[in-house]
């Protein structure tokens, strides 16, 4: 598995717009993207921080993962995302090492990137996202 970089940190927030206003106002970080993901029931605002991104995640009505996180832990760091060269190869290697990704096949995530996750219980309390640049479905 070839990890290219830490691509983003996912931050759970009750209001992505208010969080973006803080990051851009207090630290001068530019907002580079705003997106609504109806299938995931999430509002996503991306703030550029050098070569990385803060991905601000606001749950919409009926969303369960970020909502549960906010209820149990409050606002804050939700996950770390590593960009990989080949997401399916990464999943194969993880399985071979005894680590089971959340899904059998990657799913389309924010920005059209292909994503999969390792559960916090398998990664010392950290939710780990793997993503691959957008394009046709990985083979």
Q: Is 138 within the bounds of a domain?
A: no
Within a domain: 122: yes
Within-domain flag for 137: no
Each residue's pLDDT expressed in tens, for the chain with a length of 139 residues: 999 999 999 999 999 999 999 999 999 999 999 999 998 999 999 999 999 999 999 999 999 999 999 999 999 999 999 999 999 999 999 999 999 999 999 998 888 899 999 999 999 999 999 999 887 665 5
Count of structural domains, the chain: 1
Q: Is residue 115 part of a domain?
A: yes
pLDDT of residue 134: 81
The pLDDT of residue 114: 94
**pLDDT score, position 137:** 61
E strands, the chain, where?
3-12, 31-37, 42-49, 52-59, 76-84, 107-108, 114-118, 127-132
What is the domain extent for residue 113? 3-132
Residue 26 placed within a domain: yes
The CATH number that applies at residue 38 is 3.10.180.10
56 within domain boundaries: yes
């Amino acid at each position: 598995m070839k990890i290219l970089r830490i691509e983003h940190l996912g931050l759970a927030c009750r209001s992505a717009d208010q969080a973006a206003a803080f990051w851009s106002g207090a630290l001068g970080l530019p907002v580079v993207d705003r997106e609504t993901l109806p299938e995931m029931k999430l509002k996503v605002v991306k703030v550029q921080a050098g070569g990385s991104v803060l991905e601000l995640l606001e749950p919409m009505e009926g969303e369960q993962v970020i909502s549960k996180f906010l209820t149990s832990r409050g606002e804050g760091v939700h996950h770390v995302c590593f960009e990989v060269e080949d997401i399916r190869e990464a999943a194969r290697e993880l399985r071979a090492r005894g680590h089971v990704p959340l899904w059998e096949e990657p799913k389309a995530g924010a920005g059209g990137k292909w994503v999969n996750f390792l559960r916090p219980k398998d990664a010392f309390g950290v939710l780990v996202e793997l993503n691959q640049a957008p394009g046709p479905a990985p083979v």
